[in-house]
Structure 1
């Protein structure tokens, strides 16, 4: 789970900003939203980040994406125009390095990972085991450009190999290099890397799951979870099933598609076919037999008639929900931290409420749900969001600032919904195009 994210000089953020999942333990509202038994530090199960268009709330998500990609892919930064990731709206833009850090938990151990980088090199990269209650950090490794300090003494061959790899690729992360070449003997590094690769799920505005069909086919509990929820979303879908067909039989009915796939099928054992970013079908070889899998929806029509339609005939909202529901399963059942940018994209306010409410009111969740949104109706739902689960991003002098609703000293009876719409917390714009046009 994530404890906190720190960002500075990154995209729209100039000064240091911190987002965290620490609860205000003085607040007794929705006490079940505070995890107290999963690890040694109390943590919130969810957070909603609000802000007007252009305020920078999506950049909080991008900071998490950046850190994850940097930690896992040694060539990530090398292939970027890093100059575009600085805060650029000041005279001395680019003078200071980009600075990002994240503190997280896995298997009841806590880690702090920080990065400072310029367009030319990594000024600093550090991984530490953290002890939040004591406010201490225990070194795993710390690197300043090509110089690395290890907690466990490395032999000369490892030191030299590390130096050469960093000289060759000065923008690579040591954590990513260690995934390919075991240069860090400390097993804590591999555990921290595991969090980035397996415990952090990020869903962007344009994210779709090209392997959604394979994912649901291979995970029956997830399939049942998605089936149950999709029928409750009021999108006209009564049920959803995974249809299995022999490839030869399917090919006779889809001759043109099958002919175009022939060359690709000879090279791989499985293939996902997508149309306009929509997962249409999956072709796999099982026990020497080629099978075609498709998601089929029972859509309700006139007079209660139920017709079977595939994913290509579903609405954008239904497909967006199909992207979110597997991630929701991860947060509910597998202890993952799920971050969703613009959760309301393509979804109605009632559908957003339904998804968030499900997670908020499910008692046995063991993960986290963090999302950005414009859906201010959720602020009026006292049984869904705690005050310390509400965050705002606003622009001040052209730079983003990040703060919690918990920072405002208000009586618990005051509605955050009303306060937000009245501009009491900032992070909202009152647009009057008619007035501007008239002038």
Structure 2
């Protein structure tokens, strides 16, 4: 499994050649290159100290993703897109949507704020669900399939326009900064 996780990371272009545990610390290995592009030596770093939060999150999801796809499990991830590149997020979703990589019908359920994912090429309408808070703060869950829209509709654009609900009612932040401008002599205008 360790080798599959390393390969999963290599496909994501993190530049990590290996990971291992040394004295209860995860270490990542990277190839170092000289100015001509020739590999010179392997260098190691404490994983949690030196890798980005996105790389750490991707690695933390690698085993659950592989395990879910291998065994047909359900995987639930909150804030799936947080700290990860959108192309990696889309690629992981594509793994779950593919009959080739998901032959055991694993299910990925996640929350996100990334509206770029509202794409008919990535999801069917019945796969997209929204939440809408009421005046008391309780959330209602409903599907995009409940709306009469074409499969080719621009889901992201229409969502951001408020067509499907689920968008926050954004207040006037500017009011926090409403202050009278002072003139050069220090008096208010």
Give me the TM-score of the superposition, normalised by structure 1. 0.35
Work out whether 1:231 is the aligned partner of 2:10.
yes
Structure 1 position 297 matched with structure 2 position 29: yes
1:224-278 CA-partner distances (Å, limit 9, x unpaired): 321222112233x2422436x7xxxx7xxxxxxxxxxxxxxxxxxxxxx3xxxxx
CA deviation string 1:160-187 (max 9, x = no partner): xxxxxxxxxxxxxxxxxxxxxxxxxxxx
C-alpha displacement at 1:436, in angstroms? 5.9
Residue of structure 2 equivalent to 1:410: 149
Are positions 1:428 and 2:167 aligned together? yes
Going from structure 1 to structure 2, the CA distance change for 1:369 and 1:296 (only over 3 Å counts) comes to same
Q: Give the structure with the higher percent strand.
A: 1
Q: Which runs of 4+ in 1 moved over 6 A?
A: none
Contact 2:6 / 2:16 at 8 angstroms: preserved in 1? no
Larger Rg: 1
**Could you say if the C-alpha distance between residues 325 and 300 of structure 1 is closer, same or farther in structure 2, counting changes exceeding 3 Å?**
farther
Structure 2 residue matching 1:321: 3-state secondary structure: helix
1:319 aligns with 2:56: yes
* Partner of residue 242, structure 1: 20
Counterpart of 1:351 (choices 74, 88, 91) is 88
Q: Give matches, 1:126-137, under 5 Å.
A: none
Distance 2:11 2:32 in 1: 13
Any idea what the Cα deviations from partners look like across 1:137-166, whole Å, max 9, x if unmatched?
xxxxxxxxxxxxxxxxxxxxxxxxxxxxxx
Whole-angstrom distance in 2 between the partners of 1:317 and 1:421: 26
**Partner residue, 2:122:** 384
Q: 1:350 to 1:223 in 2, by over 3 A?
A: same
Query: Using CA pairs below 8 Å that are at least 6 residues apart, which structure has the higher relative contact order?
Result: 1
CA distance in structure 1 between the partners assigned to 2:18 and 2:118 by the alignment = 32
Gaps in structure 2 of 5+ consecutive residues? 180-189
| Structure 1 residues not aligned, in runs of 5+ | 1-221, 251-272, 274-279, 281-293
| Shift in CA distance, 418/299, structure 1 to aligned 2, threshold 3 Å | farther
Offset, 1:333: 0.4
State the SS of the aligned residue for 2:76.
strand
Query: Does structure 1 retain, via aligned residues, the 8 Å contact 2:126–2:144?
Result: yes
Deviation digits for residues 308-340 of structure 1, max 9, x if unmatched? 323132121111111111110122101211100
- What is the rounded CA distance, in whole Å, between the counterparts of 2:32 and 2:73 in structure 1? 34
Q: Structure 1 CA distance, aligned partners of 2:146 and 2:78? A: 23
Aligned-partner Cα distance in 2 for 1:428–1:299: 45
Per-residue Cα deviation, 1:181-208 (whole angstroms, up to 9, x for no partner): xxxxxxxxxxxxxxxxxxxxxxxxxxxx
Matched with 1:310 is 46
Cross-structure match for 1:363: 100
TM-score (norm 2): 0.77
Change over 3 Å in CA distance of 1:301–1:364 after alignment to 2: same
* Contact 1:238–1:300 under 8 Å retained in 2: no
1:338 equivalent in structure 2: 75
Q: CA deviation at 1:387?
A: 0.9
Structure 1 counterpart SS, 2:18: strand
Matched residue pairs, number?
A: 170
Q: What SS does structure 2 have at the residue aligned with 1:423?
A: coil
CA separation in 2, counterparts of 1:408 and 1:328?
31
CA apart distance, 1:299: 5.3
Q: Partners of 1:308 and 1:371 in 2: how far apart?
A: 33
**CA 1:318 to 1:300, structure 2 compared with 1: closer, same or farther past 3 Å?**
farther
